[in-house]
Structures are given as structure tokens and as C-alpha cells.
Amino acid sequence: MSPISGCFHSSTCPRKMTRRVVLVVAGTTLVLSIVFACAAAATEYVRPPPGRVIFTQHTKPASHPQQVHVSVVGANHMRVSWVTEDKHIQSVVEYGKAAGNYTASATGDHTSYRYFLYTSGKIHHVKIGPLDPATVYYYRCSMAGDEFSLRTPPAALPIELAVAGDLGQTEWTASTLSHVGRSDYDMLLVPGDLSYADAQQPLWDSFGRFVQRYASRRPWMVTEGNHEVEAAMALPCWPRPFTAYTTRWRMPYEESGSASSLYYSFDTAGGAVHVIMLGSYADFNSSSEQYRWLARDLAAVDRGATPWVVVLLHAPWYNTNAAHEGEGEAMRKAMERLLYEARVDLVFAGHVHAYERFTRVYNNEANPCGPVHITIGDGGNREGLAFDFRKNHKLARLSVMREASFGHGRLSVVNATAARWTWHRNDDADSTVRDEIWLESLAANGACRPRPGSNGAGAADSPNDEL
């Protein structure tokens, strides 16, 4: 197999337009300053006009579950999360393999939080299982409201992982998720920046309703971005950072031995793929708990049984865009060697609102035993696209494909040695593949197997691209 490299493509933005959107929610006026960027039309593609923020309301009774989403927990369990306005509703899920025929049930826990004058609804989390792999289950939350269905991930390869970062809740986001949903996939990975609520808590509720159609059917595995922090001051009266994010989007951090919900890992496809979610906004230096946890997590991976290791984080370590330039550098310097020595295959990032793929790289040099770094912060956020790619950037020689357009990616892990990555640009009603490459697992690459006493180093100086 040969890699199919995408061509270089970038655009410039002649002007920007700022629009203020006013939302009235439960008597509270929310004012959003939204910067829309308009691009000079490329010869083969004319970008659509700016998309509006979509505020999704709950129109059903207070007892009806809303904001339903699912995530994986261990090898054969799923977590179902939802919100009810009625605080007396039970945290229970009924489920079965036939519509309307629930043969099992599970009870979980619930919580809520306050953010100044805002009080959340009752937030429910219930773990269901054991479940059969690659199987459709029908389920109902709190014994009320609508019936939902989900499909569990497969127990072996192949597996299809969709990837989209910096989502938000705009017409662009709706287009991205529509394109994701049109083709079959097993799981969505999100490298941070979900709702873009930015302390306006009703937008968290709106986001949960906005994505429910998709997030209730396939597991969404997420990590935090800067828009999840929502804490500007370290004051006793100020809400703790990440309060809304960690309360609403509970991920399986405890199951992976992590002490923090801001970083965790999990296996999928029967352990053939190990996914690590790192926290760009948690301490990451060599004396930090996240660093120690990452070292333990990577050391525990048996690459004979787990041929693929994928990492997600928010602030990219490699970036030739002027947007957020250098913001991931401190984390790269602290942690990159751990990933390199463990032969991590891919690193996905968000934060920069564009698409960019690098060759295999380590320590700012092409390296066939390093990960492929991909920035995919182009899910549809309200801030617009990042057009300013630096042609003369010091890392430009390592950048294989870059484009400022909204879209999503797909990692199709075919078997223990081969995977296909594609990036799909939003072309109005269609989704166009603009970048495609075949990857070989580093675990299968004999030249990259660590040598005794080499501290993980393999063929470190070869300029060869992915395969």
C-alpha cells in the first residue's frame, strides 16, 4: 500500500465581521459576540456564508429526559447520561435488544451544580451492561419519555472512529454532524471545546439537546478544551474550573487509574486500539500526576495485543497556523518523549479552527517512528475559521496538508497493521474527501521496535513519510 498525500491548500481572509447574537433564556439575556471570518473564494470551492448559533430548547414535560448521550466504560459496559428538569425523577435505564421490550435495567447516580445564579437540572449517570459487542440496544431513561437506541462498539477490528473537534452549536456544526451521521461509524472522538458556553450555562443545556440525536446513538468520548475551563479567577466564590464539563460529560477516568476526569484512557475493538485522552489544561510537567499517570498507562500497553495507540489533546504540539501558535509547546517538551518511546501512532488535536496534517515527527524533525500529528479543530464553532497558515513557518516543511475549512475526520482501523485516515470537508450538502492516507501501525514496523538500551529510539533519522 502507498500513502495518498493531500495537496497543500490554504486561503487568506480579506475581512472579518463581528455579529452580536442576543438570546433570551428563562428571563436571562445572553449576548454572544461572534466573529465570522469570510474567505476569498478558492477556485474549486466557495465557502458558505456564516452560520448562526442554534439555541435548542426543551419543549417536552419536565419529567422527560433530555441531553441524552452515551460513552464507553470498560470492555462491555456503556454509560448513559441525561438531564431532567424534574428533580424527583429516578436515575434508572431500562434496556433490551428489541424496541419496547426491556429485559434489563440498571440504576445509577445523579448530581447537579450551581454556577452563580444558574442551577442545573438533575444530571443522571447510569452504567448499563454487560452488553454484547456490535449490537443495537433500545433503551429508555427514567422510565419516561422517548425510547432511544445505541450500538455498542465491535469486539475486534475493523473499527471506524469519527473525529471532530471544536464543535460548538452552529449551522456549521449541524452540517458537520450531519455528514458524520450519514456514513456508518462506531464512535466519535472529540479533542476538546464542546458547547462554547463560555460560562453561559444555558448554552450547555442547548448543546446537550443539539447533539442528542447523534450522541444518544454512538459513544462520544471527549476531552476538555479551553472553552470548558469557565473560571477566570481563583477566588473562593468563583465556580471551580471545568464544573459544567466534568459534571455533565462523565468519562471513564477512574477505570483507567486516573485521579482526574481531565485525562484518562480506554480500549476499544477488543483492546486492539488504545485511546488516550490528555488534558492540555491540567498540570503536565514531569513532576505532575498527569505525567506519572501517562507513563504508567503507556507502560501497561502490550503492543502485541494492542497494535494501535491513539492520543487526543486540545492544544496542538505541531501547528503552522498563526492562531494559538506555540500554545502546546510546553506540553510537547514535557511529554513528547513518552509518546515517542511508546510508539504512539497518531495524535489528534483541536484548538486551531482548521485542518492540518503533519508527517511522522518527533522533536520538530521528520521521524518515521514518531506519531502523525493531526489538527482537526474544524467542527463548526462560532468563532469562525483560522485562515492564517504561515508559509515560511519553521514547521512548514513537516506539514503535509493544511486547509481552513469545516469538516470531520475518520480513522478506519482495518487490521493490526493498516489503517486509513480521511478528512472530509463540509461542502454544503455534501462531504468531500480532501485528504487521505494509509498508515502502518508502528508496532508492526520492525525498524521502529525499541532496541535494548536505546530508550525507545528506532530509525530516528530517516526522512521517509508515513509508510
At residue 418, φ and ψ (nearest 5 deg) are -125, 140
d(CA 78, CA 281) in angstroms, rounded, equals 27
H/E stretch holding 17 reads: strand 15-25
Nearest to 150 by CA among 165, 159, 139, 158: 139
CB-hemisphere CA count at 13 Å for 453? Answer: 0
Angle at 453 between CA 451 and CA 459, to 5 degrees: 40
Give Cβ neighbours of residue 326 (< 8 Å, ≥ 6 apart). Answer: 319
150: number of Cβ within 10 Å: 22
Q: Which three cell numbers stand for residue 450?
A: 525499541
- Whole-angstrom Cα distance, residue 424 to residue 178? 12
- Nearest Cα to 293, choosing from 281, 283, 304, 306? 283
**Cβ(173)–Cβ(378) below 8 Å:** no
The verdict on whether omega for the bond into residue 463 sits within 30 degrees of 0, i.e. cis, is no
Comparing C-alpha atoms, which of 438, 411, 439 is closest to residue 423?
A: 411
CA distance 355 to 163: 12
Catalytic pick among 125, 179, 227, 324: 324
Q: Is 324 a catalytic residue?
A: yes
Q: Per the structure block, which three cell numbers stand in for 359?
A: 508527517
Residues involved in catalysis: 324
